[in-house]
Amino acid sequence: MKLDIHDETEMPSGVTVGYKDGILTITGPKGEVSRPLRDPRLAISASGDTLLIACENASRREKRMANTFNAHVENMIAGVQEPYRYKLKICSGHFPMNVAVQGDQFVVKNFLGEKFPRVLKLKKGAVVKVEGEFITVESCDKDLAGRIASDIELLTAKRNRDLRVFQDGIYMIEKANQKLEAS
């Protein structure tokens, strides 16, 4: 059954919204997030402090897309009010690992005794800090912060080794302000 969709999102105080050429920009007290939101079947408009996503005679596909866009908007609003924070832990049992942020690169030296460092080029828009054995990734964009934290975790992936013995690596312990349970 086809229904009309009119999802209106009110912005909290201190948060502004803009939509131009298919790119949604939300600005808040802690930063700014931009994301392309385009769909030919949905009409998106921003006026003042409200965002409207509308569609006439929406099918199941348009309803799903409108709900996806609303979820992205909610994450963007939450991010500009309080940035998303991912926390990782450096675990080294066999060889002492050296981890550092040098400019726009994340460098891991002496991982499992390797002679050459593993290097990750960091994307702009996130702040990566190394404090002792903990790494903090912080950004207003939830997707970007999660991608960088995942890339750091994958930088120390081990191949052709017994994972029960070689447990060295960098592991995520807190994800988007939620503690991960030990399994």
Domains, the chain: 3-81 (3.90.930.12), 84-179 (3.90.930.12)
Question: Token pair of 160, please?
Answer: 């052709």
- What's residue 111's pLDDT? 84
In contact, 80 and 17? CB cutoff 8 Å? no
Residue 16: closest CA among 5, 4, 26: 26
Total-model pTM: 0.86
- Per-residue pLDDT of 1-46, as tens digits, reads 688 888 888 999 999 999 999 999 999 999 999 999 998 889 999 9
In contact, 171 and 155? CB cutoff 8 Å? no
Helix, strand, coil percentages (3-state) for the chain, rounded to 5, are 20, 45, 35
Question: Token pair of 94, please?
Answer: 């066999």
- What's residue 167's pLDDT? 67
| Cα distances (angstroms) measured from residue 118 to each of 54, 77, 156 | 47, 35, 8
| 22-31, 57-66, 136-145, 157-166: the lowest-pLDDT one | 157-166
**CA 183, chain centre distance (Å):** 23
